[in-house]
Amino acid sequence: MALTGIDTSSYQATLNVAGAQLDFVIVKATEGVGYVNPYCNSHVSQALGSGKLLGLYHFARNRRNTATAEADFFVKNIRGYIGRALLVLDWEDGVADVAWARAFLDRVYATTGVRPLIYMSASPASTYAWEAVSKDYGLWIAGYPNNRPNNLATPACPYKPGHGWTVVMWQYTSTGRIAGYAGNLDMNVFYGDRNAWAAYANASKLFKTKGWVASLAALAAILGVSAGTLAGLNPSTLQDQPIAPGTVITAPPEANEDNDTRDEVEPYSPPAQPSQGTGPTGQGSSNGGAYVVKAGDTLSAIAARYGTTVAVLAAANGISNPNRIYPGQVLRVDGQASSSSSTSTGSTVTVVRGDSLSKIGQRVGVSWQTLASLNGIRAPYVIYPGQVLKTTRSGAAGTSAAGSYYTIRAGDTLSGIASRFGTRVQQLQRWNGITDVNRIYAGRTIRVR
């Protein structure tokens, strides 16, 4: 069995993905360490909404940046879709740098649990020594013999690149056409069925803790996986902090709950009728006096856009340092202080049908990432009607078997927290793995004693 599909970027901005008669679409998400496709969310939403299979790709600029930096940028911007999308490294820059490609693919796998494909033309795929890559990752190969056929089809791939490659997909033309769109399109054939696609896309597993687990490293030992990989898949879980019962953890596909002789963890399946969170960050938006910060925004630019001042925005949003805003942060732009009481009771909100973390975040004035962290929600960020979510966390220090903890609030500094709890900044850094004293964020819980 084979599937037919296309890949898109900002060049296909006007394409009606939902109306196209195809099995899958692979959307450009990011490039390098600073570019996010402004049409990614639109095409992704259309694909998912119309039942099409989804892929997301990153265009490497490996002559300029490190593999880790680019992989982390890609994952940060597509984290809301992990588990629902096949992931791809687009390899067209320094094509001879096999080690860079391997490092990128390994980093994405370590932080998502998904093994990406690598896309390249037939020439580099057959020229360089790819054996170290092909043993773990599949190939999406590109080659256009006379650009035929130029419609959606399932031709057999004529390329035999060797070097251990498994050809998962072939891009056979760059001048394809579909009804309703006047421009050229890349046409692709995927050699497998929908289950095979899902196997590439949804490689991670979910587990829920049944009892207290001493640390993330202890949980990694229970599941028989690398502690580093588990930490990468669960970035909001502190590695040295005890994990409470009922916490949902994302694990790589090789995780095995049978190692759990003390019955501390169990497989977890999301409830029925889920409502998903948002996808790639990088597109700012506003709704009813709220603005979601995108990458590259500054407070002064946002102030100018909405006819206000930096001072007014800072006061309305409790911002102590106007130079420190972050993608995904929700700002009030109408001069009124943000409120966490909209459609909520006290410090909680009850999910209704059609809700997502981003919609709730805009209503209550916090980012969807903060909501996910407060409620222990991991990728693929599933919520469901009737679920009660916390929207705030007490700022007081709490205690556990491993020490005392404090949840950072807007305006906090590491030196101020150290002074409050009678310790030193350096000690806080060591306890919590903080490398930059100026980079702490509201909603994170840190050890203070």
CATH of residue 421: 3.10.350.10
Query: Is residue 419 over pLDDT 70?
Result: yes
The answer on 164 and 24 residing in a single domain is yes
Per residue in 240-298, pLDDT tens? 778 888 787 877 767 776 666 667 888 765 443 222 233 333 334 333 355 666 656 77
Instruction: Catalogue the active-site residues.
Output: 7, 92
> Is the pLDDT higher at 204 or at 245?
245
Rounded-to-10 torsion of CA 437, 72, 327, 392? -70
Boundary-marking domain end, from 267, 293, 313: 267
Cβ(372)–Cβ(235) under 8 Å? no
The answer on 78 and 65 residing in a single domain is yes
In sequence order, the 6+-apart residues with CB closer than 8 A to the CB of 195 are none
Tell me what pLDDT residue 281 has: 35
Name the pairing type of β-strands 3-8 and 185-190. antiparallel
**Would you say residue 277 lies in a domain?**
no
The answer on 16 and 72 residing in a single domain is yes
Tell me what pLDDT residue 335 has: 43
Torsional class of 332: left (φ above 0), alpha (ψ -120 to 50), beta (otherwise): beta
Tell me what pLDDT residue 314 has: 73
> Is the pLDDT higher at 209 or at 448?
209
Tell me what pLDDT residue 361 has: 73
CATH number at residue 194: 3.20.20.80
In sequence order, the 6+-apart residues with CB closer than 8 A to the CB of 304 are none
Burial of 202: CB neighbours in 10 Å, binned 0-12, 13-18, 19+? middle
Domains in the chain: how many in total? Answer: 4
Segments forming the whole domain that contains residue 418: 398-447
The answer on 115 and 43 residing in a single domain is yes
Per residue in 115-124, pLDDT tens? 899 999 999 9
Question: Which of 48-57, 89-98, 165-174, 388-397 has the lowest average pLDDT?
Answer: 388-397
**Would you say residue 359 lies in a domain?**
yes
SS3 247: coil
Query: Is residue 401 over pLDDT 50?
Result: no
The answer on 404 and 441 residing in a single domain is yes
Question: Which of 40-44, 247-251, 385-389 has the lowest average pLDDT?
Answer: 385-389
How many Cα neighbours within 13 Å face the side chain of 382? 16
Q: What is the mean pLDDT of residues 353-379?
A: 70
| Residues pairing with 389 in the sheet | 349
Greatest CA separation for the chain: 73
Tell me what pLDDT residue 329 has: 62
pTM for the structure as a whole:
0.52
Peptide bond into 149 cis (omega under 30): yes
Query: Is residue 174 over pLDDT 90?
Result: yes
Q: How far apart are alpha carbons 176 and 414 in whole angstroms?
A: 56
Binning pLDDT at 50, 70 and 90, where does residue 97 land?
Answer: very high
Tell me what pLDDT residue 341 has: 30
> DSSP character for 409?
-
In sequence order, the 6+-apart residues with CB closer than 8 A to the CB of 414 are 425, 428, 429, 434, 437, 438, 440
**Would you say residue 276 lies in a domain?**
no
